[in-house]
Structure 1
Amino acid sequence: MLRGLVDTKSSAPPLSAGFGDMKQLEAELRRSIAGEVRFDSGSRALYAADASNYRQVPIGVVIPRTIEDVIETVRLCYRYGAPVLSRGGGTSLCGQCCNVAVVMDFSKYLNRVLEVDSRTKTARVQPGCVLDDLRHAAEKQGLTFAPDPATHNHNTLGGMIGNNSCGPHSVMGGETVHNIIELDVLTYDGTRMTVGATSDEQLQEILAQPGRRGDIYAHLQKLRDRYANQIRGRFPQIPRRVSGYNLEALLPEHGFHVAQALVGSEATCVVILEAKVRLLDNPAARSLLVLGYKDVYEAGDHVPEVLRHKPIALEGMDDRLIADMTAVHLHPDNVKLLPEGGGWLLVEFGGDSKGDSDAQARRLMEALKQAEHPPSMKLFDDPPVEKMLWKVRESGLGATAHVPDKPITWEGWEDSAVPPENLGQYLRKLRALFEKYGYACDLYGHFGQGCVHTRIDFDLETADGIRTFRAFLHEAARLVVSLGGSISGEHGDGQSKAELLPIMFGDELMQAFREFKGIWDPHWKMNPGKVVGAYRADENLRLGTDYNPPVLPVHFHYPRDNGDFSRTLLRCVGVGECRKKEGTMCPSYMATREEMHSTRGRAHLLFEMVRGEVITGGWKNESVHEALDLCLSCKGCKGECPVNVDMATYKAEFMSHYYEGRLRPASAYAFGLIDRWARMASHAPGLANFLTQREPFAALAKKIVGIAPQRRITSLAGESFASWYGKHPRKQQGRRRIILWPDTFNNYFHPDTARAALEVLEHAGFDVAIPKVHLCCGRPLYEFGMLDRAKSYLERVLDVLADDIRAGTPIVGLEPACVSVFREEMPDLLARNEQAKRLREKVFLLSEFLEREADGFPFPKLERHAVVHGHCHHKSVLKMDAEVSVMNKLGLDFDLLDSGCCGMAGSFGFEKEKYAVSMQCAERVLLPAVRNAPDGTLVIADGFSCREQLLQTTDAEPLHLAQVLRMALHQQDGKH
């Protein structure tokens, strides 16, 4: 049960007090609301942590569909004495989003932009609205919402209001608090009201009204009058002060702005139902200037000088961050763009035109050149390149969380802020403090507002380490306050910094904070134990001295985590990048909007499974299986997650243990062993096709295997590629030997792809061989956890191709999923096999081979328009660079779609239970783009599954790059 509050001066009751029958509460919620009510152990485990160091298992989870659901949920929680926690994207870094409470997740349904008014430059949003959705809607009218944290593509406005979020462009438009006009709020006792700025006349009207609203305003007025002098004297007047409650907003000079007073209250006072926000003119053009200094301290010294030129963003970072990015191979090409230096400032200017913004940047450059030791400078004019540089800065968390041969780093002192004129001094003293405590970390952040980000290698598992962690926090708090700064400059207080607030504000203002919460929440049930009356920073740790995960026998070696599966499960830091709506990661989340279908949700469930407290049964747990079963194994997370969580591998690992000692579903044997069935059927393809294409046999086959009735079983080719190859006259004399890998799909189902590749490679001057016997990489086996069999497949490949592997013979693969097996799964399953390492280095996609090995290949021209869909593994693991280069050399006018996953993903899209999600994935971008393409447009998709999805859902005839290359050759030679 929850522990009592630490702050004995608080008037709050202990958190364990006043709980009624939670099973009865669950039953009443189910009867009373249209939304989803989840009190099961899997859902509770799913929401037990956020992006912080903390973990608290909730009472249950409610996903409201309507505002009425929210009101009814709070009413019932009030009746049963259950605490309430509002949650958006769950990206909080200070423990605000985990609690022993009924969690209301607003992000799935209450996520709309209700209105954008260009005349008043305002917008109305629901609390679960994602920031980028608001910004995209506003940009259509030339407007923007200024605060933009790095999580802008998945964080919610409700969370931003709760935390008073900021971001790089707060230089232009202030913190979230400066951009809130009105809030529609609900108190724990059921009072709903709209709050905003309050004139004296309005205040008198409200005070004259009977009831709870008038009582709240009366107490707020008394609180303001009693503490006004303390508020004016103790609140630091700096660009970034996020710590504490925003009592300044109640002062007369700030218009008794009750809405702004609630911004940053972290769901401890009210539930936000709707917000009216301020919008700013969005600069028509932007220019990015990067300045390189000797070190980060010198960069900090020069921030005031740069600010005088009024940039709209001013970010900083040190050489340690760049070194760590290099170590984890994060954005290597982007890093090369930086000018010479050991500390950098990224300075962005906005203007009415590119000439205007460039001119502002050049004026700063001219001014800086007059200094005795001017920085190195680079002005970037190409928006895509500017975006690449912003990625460098935004990737701070991903670059520093899990660096090879270094301890894991954690938040805890990651957003302190000082006056910009004190930044250089603070950076030097902060580094000295790190060294005193033996911590090593990077420094970066929103330097234009004096806000410093870092992750620190705290020891949060031993008693001594945790004592040292807490001692550091107190000394760091005294340091930042001594320089006129704020303990939190962006992420809030939550639990991690709440106990430090007296150092910054003193006892009198701490009492004011307690009274402020008590006015709104006299029962102390709104996100209790956060901000005031809070737990200490060393309580409720995700790890702590009780953390002792069992050593589990596993199939993969997890070399990046020293072979430790439990450490692998700490890789997810909870930042939630997997909840975005673009890119490849995470297709099932994009379709369902369910936390359990995000990479983060699945990682949290696996962590809880190993912990064994809420989720029991280990590998056999059904909640974990349910979440992982809808993973498409796209590996989007491996490529796009800031810390490279590899859920496809974790899924294969889990499934192997889950099915140990039990039968798998029929689909596992039908699809997992597809290479064997295809090989057998290839001896009588006519009979096989008759039984799978003709009714009633086709319907019966689909029913037996569990294939969706809407799907068509892919027919076998009349002749496999390998069989055709045996009759093909070969050009060998004096040519370099290479192997064309005849994967199961392009061998037995789409052999024309392999024939096209053979023609292209021979045209390029190579002696093209294929393996002498049937081989398969085993890709379909991973989906169903058949890892022992997958390992034997790979060992057979190594045995059959032993001589060619030793000779360094290049192997060209056509199916991205198969090539990724040799690049990813094989080295991890056969970690100590030197042949596996050799093979990995010599396996290429066709485009990679032509770019790297086929020197002087005369690319023919094919001046056609094309839409291009990249296979998930191609985009995430192998990358599309070579593919793009080849298409450019062909002269294609092409659109590379941001289409995510096609939704077919091997067997996934065929399975009856997954068909709906498969189609949601496909309909998000890919299918509309293909259907709307002009006549004559080429559709290019290298993945067999991707082509199959298109063939079954559109009139398109998708082509592999090999077929496009052959088309270009034939056009050049006058063939048809």
Structure 2
Amino acid sequence: MRFDAASRALYTTDASNYRHAPIGLVIPLDEQDVIDTVAICRSLGAPILTRGGGTSLSGQGCGTAVILDFSKYMNKMEPVDPAAHTVWVQPGIVLDRVREAAEEFELTFAPDPATHSRCTLGGMIGNNSCGIHALMGGKTVDNIEALDILLYDGTRMIVGPTSDGEMEKIIAAGGRKGAIYGGLKRLRDTYAELVRQKFPKIPRRVSGFNLDELLPENGFNVARALVGSEGTCMIVLGAKLRLVKSPHYRTLVGLGFPDIFLAADNVPAILAHKPIGLEGMDGNLIDSMIAKSKNLEHIPLLPEGRGFLLIEFGGASQADADEQARTLVASLDGLSVKPDARIYSTAEAKRVWHVRESGLGATAFIPGKPMRWEGWEDAAVDPTQEGSYLRAITALMREYNYESPMYGHFGQGCVHMRFNFDLESADGILAFREFIDRAADIAVAHGGSLSGEHGDGQARAALLPKMFGPELMDAFRQFKVLWDPANGLNPNNLIDPHEPHEDLRLGADYKPWQPETHFAFEENKGSFAAENLRCVGVGACRKKDAGTMCPSYMATNEEMHSTRGRAHLLWELMQGELLPDQWKNDQVRESLDLCLACKACKSECPVSVDMATYKSEFLSHYYEGEKRPLAHYAFGRIDRWARLASVAPGLVNAINNAPGIRRLVKSALHIHKSRNFPRFAKPFTRERRSSQPTGAPEVFLWADTFNNYFHPATMRAAYHILSDAGFRIMLPKEHLCCGRPLYDFGMLNIAKDYLYKVLDALGPQLAAGTPIVVLEPSCASVFRDELTNLLPYDARAQQLSKQAFLLSEFLVKYAPGYQPPKIEQKIIVHGHCHHRSTMGMADEMKLLRATGAEVELLDSGCCGMAGPFGFESNKYEVSQTLGERVLLPAVRNNKDAIIVSDGFSCQEQITQNTTARPMHFAEVLAQARKF
């Protein structure tokens, strides 16, 4: 139970426009915790709001209530029943975990939103989620067999389809359940004909309560009637899911039309071919991705055009799926406009789907343009009306000077949008309210639903009378009262809702604190508040199965350790309401303390939240005028100590490893007892080298602290590789350091001094355009990233950022004829976080594969060491958890392979936990050479 300021601040918003400070947070371990929490809240009259992944876009996931977050502990599932095609799950389980278990039996849970890597089943049930493959198996409501539910009054029951005989028995038995079922029967009998008349008969009617599921022809299915009720009626303790056959073989077709309207017009004809998925995207969405440098390697796979349809077929064999695709392509002459077509391989299809799933993040924050917001983002119509609806909405957008990319589930008439609403002025907010009112009229006129996927929430509940009329709205109210007469569950949502323009996260009174910062944050004109507003809450940082972001969340499963959680805390800090003390706030520092500064969020986050930079900025101010821990100076200025130790490295190593001294140093610096001190070595810059030929093109080899003073063999290898490639190598004539460790502790004033010294020393090379080869990825990232953010107006900084290359990048760009040696051993590659996020692994992988070896790039994420992070006692457990997730088991399972890991910290994690001796990329290429 967490009622502290930071925990409340973490949950003030979801992925919507709205903000409500919760009463507090409860993270239940099991069902009994939920029952007890409800009892306590009921005794105090406190409302309750249940939450899963927190990615709701309509505001139903935030409120002034006690929030129950099921995602940390109540995330289990029972074994899949392959005969019945069902499985029982707890509400906090992530969709992908269910799909992985079901796929063992060639089954799947059909609804799969783009957030499938982090959305929970409880949230999907609350919102009646759909996704790409709802075309294959329906919405969530169509795939629920039974629900185990708890009411605000403490009643617990299992509900599902109910025959007339069963219903009469339940009613006759009396009690709370009997009273509810009697009321549901009266509702059905009173409103059956009106439901049949007024509920749109379209694939994506998500708005309103599912009273249609109570009709006799639908089996009086009480469980399905509760799906999509957005936590206003009951709390889900468990759900029995219906699983469908998952086509093992799939083929994707891409079609390119001149515009998105023509693409929409032709959807009905394409549906006749019975695809299992049919998605759409417009050219504006692709333009947004290009402007953000997102998916640049995938976008060229799209066909020519400005309106795109992605059509997926499933078959009993690959030949079957391919034949369906070819049949579609052969039929294109019969469309009103023949599109450009492309049939994708399996590998290409994965890349194209990644483009489509990046839609929401790609539309939210675009450099140089106003922020874009939800609010009218998922209306749905019949596919036969889709082209007309899009033209009408576009005309309305022009009237208000709004713009939005369009993408979504075109096969079911559901189109996602995100508009440049002005939510910071009174006039802008009133225009927003008027626009969505008129947009609702357009959707209803086309026989559509105000929501086709995300639910109504605060964004659309007040508009529901337009769609359903007063009588059905009264039926909805009666339905809510039957389940929750005390109005204790998610009040003011769906029934008696707040207005869509109330409780905005921004609003006309939005005046955040605007402190001075070290970093320039040029995209946001120096505003730290605007930087943290960049996070739109989609929760991609909460994934746990792939990529690097967010390593601390992968280890702890805590919202405060996700990139989103930290961004929300920093944003709240700028508001000065829930979180006091501005830069000196201890809870914000605690949240940032477990950030490994991996920088993965800058590349993996759809809106490029840069938490490593935010952490460094915050810590720089937190410690202003304060005494820093000794470890900050020991680790942050490691270059100084390494330089001193280089005078007599053997002696220093002996002293460091003397038992008494070792214990004393570890205690003073809070180093975990299981960690070993890295061993100093004679620096490479002091080694004697043979003279080099004059006239060869010059390259400057950067002598970073880690490779020069600890691993000189790496520099030695790089020196000879560059020499053999025909270059004349220059080395620093003085001790230089990029200051990489300083950023981990926010020692930014010192970091700037280091950078100015570097720029002064490299003046001749920068003026001459000499390439600068950097071996340590974290040092290269300083030159490519932090340097220009700290010193944005220094022309030398811009030049260095362009002239700094990793060895692999340099060889590909400047030595295209270079041939790596032949290698017969298998090569396992672990990419340093900064390497992946800032430079990318393509060049290194290209050269390693050119050796002829079998090369595997691990999807190992962060190694967990992250500079000094993994050495600290209070972070050791997190560090080990991350290392053991993928990297360390892969190293142990490939004893005969060459382990390639360029980062000094990554190598330390491997050597301190295994018997392997990892090699830098340079050492691998130079291993055939004797030196």
TM-score bin, normalised by smaller chain: over 0.9
- Tell me the equivalent position of 1:576: 539
Distance of 2:336 and 2:177 partners within structure 1: 61
* CA deviation map 1:760-787 (0-9, x unaligned): 1111111111111000000000000000
| Structure 1 residue 151 corresponds to structure 2 residue 109 | no
Residue equivalent to 1:603:
567
Q: Is the 8 A contact 1:730 1:767 kept in 2?
A: no
| Paired residue type of 1:87 | R
Q: Tell me the distance in 2 between the aligned counterparts of 1:703 and 1:47.
A: 37
- Residue 808 (structure 2) aligns with: 847
The amino acid of 2:35's aligned partner reads I
Instruction: Report if the CA contact (8 A) 1:131-1:155 is conserved.
Output: yes
Q: Counterpart of 1:538?
A: 501
Task: For residue 290 of structure 1, give the secondary structure of its aligned residue in structure 2.
Answer: strand
CA–CA distance in structure 2, aligned partners of residues 330 and 495 of structure 1 = 31
Cα distance in 2 between the residues matched to 1:201 and 1:115: 31
Is the 1:242–1:490 contact (alpha carbons within 8 Å) kept by the matching residues of 2?
A: yes
- Residues 614-643 of structure 1: CA deviation (Å, up to 9, x unaligned): 001101001100000100000010010000
Asked whether the 8 Å contact 1:673–1:781 carries over to 2, the reply is: yes
Between 1:691-700 and 1:829-838, the stretch displaced more is: 691-700
Aligned partners of 2:74 and 2:93 also within 8 Å? yes
* Shift, 1:706, TM fit: 1.0
Aligned-partner residue type, residue 966 of structure 1: A
1:712 is matched with: 676
Structure 2 CA distance, aligned partners of 1:619 and 1:600? 19
**1:292 matched to 2:253:** no
Q: Distance in 2 between matches of 1:170 and 1:372?
A: 27
Work out the CA distance in 2 between the residues paired with 1:469 and 1:188.
Answer: 35
Q: Distance in 1 between matches of 2:905 and 2:763?
A: 30
Contact 2:819 2:850 survives alignment (8 Å): no
Alignment pair present for 1:385 and 2:361: no
SS at match of 1:316: strand
The total of aligned residue pairs comes to 930
1:41 aligns with 2:1: no
CA distance in 2, matches of 1:187, 1:67: 13
Between 1:868-877 and 1:855-864, the stretch displaced more is 855-864
1:337 to 2:312 alignment: no
Contact 1:207 1:214 in 2 (8 A): yes
1:810-831 CA distance string (max 9 Å, x none): 0101110000000000000000
Structure 1 partner of 2:394: 431
- Equivalence for 1:828: 789
**3-state SS, counterpart of residue 499 of structure 2:** coil
1:883-922 alpha-carbon deviations (Å, 9 max, x no partner): 1111111112121111110000000000111111111111
Alpha-carbon deviations, 1:366-414, whole Å to 9, x = none?
A: 1112446311100012x22111111111111121111122110000000
- What's the offset of the Cα at 1:498? 0.5
* Aligned-partner Cα distance in 2 for 1:686–1:342: 65
C-alpha separation in 2, matches of 1:399 and 1:901: 25
**Distance in 1 separating the partners of 2:101 and 2:883:** 24
- Please give the alpha-carbon distance, in whole angstroms, between the structure 2 residues aligned to 1:830 and 1:114: 55
The Cα of 1:708 is off from its aligned counterpart by 0.6
| SS of residue paired to 2:78 | strand
Q: Is the 8 A contact 1:666 1:706 kept in 2?
A: no
Asked whether the equivalents of residues 87 and 105 of structure 1 are also in contact (C-alpha less than 8 Å), the reply is yes
Establish whether residue 703 from structure 1 lines up as the match of residue 667 from structure 2. yes
The answer for the alignment partner of 2:686 in structure 1 is 723
What are the Cα deviations for residues 294-350 of structure 1, in whole angstroms up to 9, with x where unaligned? 110000000000000000000011111111111111101211111111101000001
Does 2:829 match 1:868? Answer: yes
Counterpart residue type for residue 736 of structure 2: L
Structure 2, unaligned runs of 5 or more: none
Superposed CA deviations along residues 255-282 of structure 1, whole A, max 9, x for unmatched, are: 0000000000001100000000011111
Deviations 1:121-170 (A, max 9, x none): 11111100000000011111111111000000000000000000000100
- Residue by residue over 1:199-258, the C-alpha shift from the partner in whole angstroms, topping out at 9 and shown as x without a partner, is 111111111113111111111111111111111111000000110011100111100000
Could you say what secondary structure the match of 2:912 adopts? helix
Q: Distance in 2 between matches of 1:498 and 1:373?
A: 39
- Per-residue CA deviation, residues 75-123 of structure 1 (Å, 9 max, x unaligned), is 1111111100111000000001101111010000001122211111111
| Residues 116, 123 of structure 1: 8 Å contact kept | yes
2: CA distance between counterparts of 1:852 and 1:889?
15
In the alignment, is the contact (CA less than 8 A) between 1:584 and 1:876 conserved in 2?
no
**Alignment partner, residue 652 of structure 2:** 688
In 1, Cα distance between equivalents of 2:617 and 2:884: 30
- In the alignment, residue 100 of structure 1 is paired with which amino acid? T
Q: Please tell me the residue identity of whatever aligns with 1:290.
A: G
Given that 2:701 and 2:774 are in contact with CA atoms closer than 8 Å, whether structure 1 keeps it comes out as yes
Distance 2:581 2:691 in 1: 58
Counterpart of 2:41 in structure 1 is: 77
- Matches of 2:855 and 2:168, distance apart in 1: 65
CA distance in 2, matches of 1:802, 1:604: 41
Give yes or no for the alignment of 1:519 onto 2:482.
yes
Q: What is the letter of the counterpart of residue 922 of structure 2? A: A
What does residue 896 of structure 2 align with? 936
The aligned amino acid for 1:948 is E
Answer whether contact 1:249 1:260 (CA < 8 A) is retained. Answer: yes
1:496-511 map, 5 Å:
496-511=459-474
Aligned equivalents of 2:173 and 2:711: distance in 1?
76
Partner of 1:547: 510
Determine the structure 1 residue equivalent to 2:98: 134
**2-structure distance, mates of 1:673, 1:447:** 56
**Paired AA for residue 332 in structure 2:** L
Give, in angstroms, the shift of residue 804 of structure 1.
0.6
Q: Structure 2 matches for 1:23-42, cutoff 5 A?
A: 37-42=1-6
> SS of the residue aligned with 1:696?
helix
1:964 to 911, 924, 930: 924
**Secondary structure of the structure 2 residue equivalent to 1:512:** helix
Is residue 2:360 matched to residue 1:400?
no
State the distance in 1 between where 2:81 and 2:522 align: 53
Equivalent positions of 1:571-970 (< 5 A) are 571-581=534-544, 582-717=546-681, 719-724=682-687, 727-933=688-894, 935-967=895-927, 969-970=928-929
Kept in 1, the 8 Å contact 2:269–2:335? The answer is no
Determine which of 400, 419, 422 is the counterpart of 1:459: 422
Question: In structure 1, what is the Cα distance between the partners aligned to 2:610 and 2:472?
Answer: 47
Question: 1:227 — aligned with what?
Answer: 191
Residues 147 and 169, structure 1, Cα contact 8 Å, conserved in 2: yes
Q: CA deviation at 1:686?
A: 2.3
- Distance between the aligned counterparts of 1:751 and 1:699, measured in 2? 28
| C-alpha contact 1:248 1:261 (8 A) present in aligned 2 | yes
What SS does the aligned partner of 2:372 have? coil
2:58: which partner in 1?
Answer: 94
What is the CA–CA distance in structure 1 between the aligned matches of 2:887 and 2:565, rounded to whole Å?
26
* Length-normalised TM-score, structure 2: 0.99
SS of the equivalent of 1:812 reads strand
For the aligned residues, what is the CA RMSD?
Answer: 0.9
Contact 2:551 2:862 survives alignment (8 Å) = yes
Output the CA distance in 2 between the equivalents of 1:148 and 1:645: 25
- Within 1, Cα distance between the matches of 2:289 and 2:797? 27
After the TM superposition, which parts of structure 1 deviate over 6 Å for at least 4 consecutive aligned residues?
none
Q: Indicate the residue corresponding to 1:480 in structure 2.
A: 443
> Could you tell me whether the CA contact under 8 Å between 1:151 and 1:577 is conserved in 2?
yes
Equivalent of residue 558 in structure 1, options 490, 500, 521: 521
Q: Give the 3 Å change call, closer, same or farther, for CA 317–372 of structure 1 in structure 2.
A: closer
Q: Secondary structure at the match of 2:298?
A: helix
Q: What residue ranges of structure 1 are gaps of 5+ in the alignment?
A: 1-36
- Give, in whole Å, the separation in 2 of the partners of 1:475 and 1:504: 12
Give the secondary-structure state (helix, strand or coil) at the position aligned to 1:369. helix
2:319 is matched with which residue? 355
